[in-house]
Amino acid sequence: MRWVACMLRDGLRGVELRGAGRRISVRMGKLPQVVSTCCLVILLALYVVGAVSHGSLRHEVQTLPLWVPIVQGFRGRGMAKWAALPCLVFWLAVMVLIWLFLLGWARVVTGHFSAVEIVMTLLIGLATIAGLVACFRWRTGVGWLRAFGIATLFAILQLAVFRISLLPYIATR
């Protein structure tokens, strides 16, 4: 978890961690790959949540919009930033609501969360923050109108697939 703090502090450049007699080198690549990697971490963490909560299909549907910034970011395309932004904001908001419930401060999101699910919420939260920082540092050549259109489309898409994932047929599989 220290690599995330160092990554945010050092501006997503190469980071070297030292501790307990070990030296760990964490090399962060270009910003498009950082955004893609953060989206991939979110996707995999949600798949783990689906596996432990017996709701795989629901989590697979919820993560569909993340595939575009993952693929496009690894290709270095500027549209990945604008596709990732609404997804990252959405998942950060969901994680904050879960944490508020777990702390007993709000009941917007309710349920029973296993230890694995709680750890995954922390991992997803860290990945969303790191991804948002990378997005804000990444300057793309995408025009403002196209960027607004992509971000709006992916915000609508993320909300739609989340709603679809709550349908009884999908939520129980």
Q: What is the pLDDT of residues 52-105, one digit of tens each?
A: 988 789 889 999 999 999 999 999 999 999 999 999 999 999 999 999 999 999
For 109, 122, 159, 172, the CA distances from 106, given in Å and listed in that order, are 8, 18, 21, 26
What distance lies between CA 109 and its chain's CA centroid?
Answer: 18
Break the chain into its structural domains and give their ranges. Answer: 30-171
pLDDT computed for residue 109 by the predictor: 84
Task: Give the pLDDT mean for 4-18.
Answer: 48
What is the pTM assigned to this prediction? 0.80
